[in-house]
Amino acid sequence: MLDIIKIRSKFPILSRKVNGQDLVYFDNGATTQKPQVVIDAEANYYANENSNVHRGVHFLSGLATDKFEETRNTIQKFIGAKHKHEIIFTKGTTDAINLVANGFRTLLNKGDEVIISEMEHHSNIVPWQMCCEQSGATLKVIPLLNNGSLDMIAFENFLTENTKLVSVSHISNTLGTINPIKEIIEKAQAVGAKVMIDGAQAAAHISLNMQSLGADYYCFSAHKLYGPTGVGILYGKEDVLNELPPYQGGGEMIKEVSFKKTTYACLPHKFEAGTPNIAGVVAFKSAIDFINELGLSNIAKYEEELLQYATEEVLKIEGLKIYGTAKNKSGIISFNINELHPYDIGVIVDKLGIAIRTGHHCTQPIMERFNIPGTARISLAVYNTKEEIDICINAIIKAKQMLS
């Protein structure tokens, strides 16, 4: 059993007021709050350890490099990767997807096919549109069923020897659907395609093991795992990453540079051009340590309990409809009430100190699919409580009264 009061006390922001009210933070799908250990680690890095990594012979450069690489080790263990050099530091999930999609521009030809899904975040749509435009490949989109899960029959029908890459999210940021990624990976790889999983909404909520999962690429952002902004992880299988052309050129990513021919560094440095967000990477380790101390299975169990409670309670509001009712769901509830615009609900509950997200959540195709302008979204994290859910629901009821 997790001690939620103790967990909450580690997050300084959770005790602040918003519009004169106690903050209730339900926008964890956008970003999570940071525990003091993460804030301290970032400050301590600049106060005591700052230097550039992988470059100098002096003491601080060595210290910074050790700290930086320690995070890589921690991530390797956290996601069960086979090799340390399969972990690439990026700016975030979007950056990681762009890195892969950019590489595929030269790997794909006319007639090749890339499969994504209708539930993807724009950052797992647009890079592939750009990639297909440049390479002449065709983009195919797995449709959604009414409950917000993927149409797996359509997916299987898409798979042919022309399929070169499948990129889908592990968990939908709008609908909360947990996709059957193991099945997707196996079926896609059976026709020789590579598979990329956008794990932005999953890594803080589901225990991961890359070796048993078998994904070719998997990516996520530190800031959705109680870590700093501006840091992301791209995992790739060693041989798959070796085949992928480098993304950005610059320092650190080269073996030898001459005007005749430049050769590239080995993994992971081939994909880490330029000075990275060292402080963020160092502090990210503290976030992973924080998660590991609680235990991801305990977090998942608690969040499941919250999700169930919140779902039951919001459904008591007359006229409320939840979008995303798949059997296998993560702690995300997207909803609308009658004809009310989600924006109107959002601005009123904000005045009551409650942070929920409203809008299209960077998933306009989902909005089109359900023919709605947007939704209001509650997304949960380990520090949320049932009391907060009650406060939020009362605020939503208040908003509904004011607007009706």
Question: Which residues contact other proteins by CB under 8 A?
Answer: 19, 340-341, 343-344, 346-348, 350-351, 358-359, 373-374, 402-403
Q: Residue 18 in 3-state DSSP?
A: strand
Residue 400: CB minimum distance to other proteins, A? 12
CB atoms within 10 A of CB 220: 27
Amino acid 169 reads S
Q: How many other CB atoms sit within 10 Å of the CB of residue 145?
A: 14
Nearer CB in complex with other proteins: 46/343: 343
- Dump the DSSP string for 169-222: ESB-TTT-BBP-HHHHHHHHHHTT-EEEEE-TTTTTTS---HHHH--SEEEEEG
State which residue, 84 or 351, has the beta carbon closest to other proteins: 351
For the bound state, the minimum distance from the C-beta of residue 374 to other proteins, rounded and expressed in Å, comes to 7
Query: Is 362 labeled as catalytic in the residue annotation?
Result: yes
Minimum distance from residue 359 beta carbon to other proteins (Å): 5
Q: Which is nearer to other proteins, 22 or 69 (CB)?
A: 22
Task: Please identify, using beta-carbon distances, which residue of 72 and 361 lies nearer to other proteins.
Answer: 361
Q: What is the DSSP letter of 49?
A: I
58 to each of 49, 50, 51, 100, 373, how far by Cα in Å?
12, 12, 9, 34, 56
Which residues have C-beta within 8 Å of that of residue 57, sequence separation ≥ 6?
A: none
Does residue 303 contact residue 380 with C-beta atoms inside 8 Å?
yes
Q: Which pair of structure tokens corresponds to residue 393?
A: 């629901």
Would you say 263 or 401 has its CB closer to other proteins? 401
Smaller CB separation from other proteins, 295 or 319: 319
Distance of closest approach, residue 234 Cβ to other proteins, in angstroms: 28
d(CA 100, CA 164): 13
Strands 254-256 and 375-379: unpaired
In angstroms, what is the minimal distance from the CB of 372 to other proteins? 10
- Smallest separation (angstroms) from other proteins to the CB of 352: 9
Q: In angstroms, what is the minimal distance from the CB of 316 to other proteins?
A: 23
Query: Which of the residues 131, 132, 219, 362 is marked catalytic?
Result: 362
- Let me know: does 72 contact 267? Beta carbons within 8 Å: no
33 versus 358: smaller Cβ distance to other proteins: 358
Cβ-Cβ contacts under 8 Å for 43 (sequence gap 6 or more): none
DSSP 124-160: GTHHHHHHHHHH--EEEEEPBPTTS-B-HHHHHHH-S
* Amino acid identity, position 339: E
What's the farthest any 2 CA atoms get from each other in the chain? 71
Active site residues: 362
